[in-house]
Amino acid sequence: MESPIYTDNSNIHGVGIFTKVDIKQGQIIFEVADLMRRTMANEWITNAGKMLNHQTNCNTMLQKQNHNYMLIATREIFKGEELTINYKMLPPDVFKTNTDNYIEM
Residue predicted with more confidence, 92 or 102? 92
**What pLDDT does 2 receive?**
73
Which residues fall within 8 angstroms of residue 87, CB to CB, at 6 or more apart? 54, 95
Q: Which domains does the chain have, with CATH numbers?
A: 5-94 (2.170.270.10)
| 37 φ, ψ (degrees, to nearest 5) | -70, -30
Dump pLDDT digits (tens) for 28-42: 999 998 888 776 655
Helix ranges restricted to H, the chain: 35-40, 47-50, 92-95
Handedness of CA 32, 45, 51, 84 (dihedral sign): positive
pLDDT of residue 100: 45
What tens digit of pLDDT does each residue of 17-76 get? 999 999 999 999 999 988 887 766 557 888 899 899 999 999 999 999 998 999 999 999
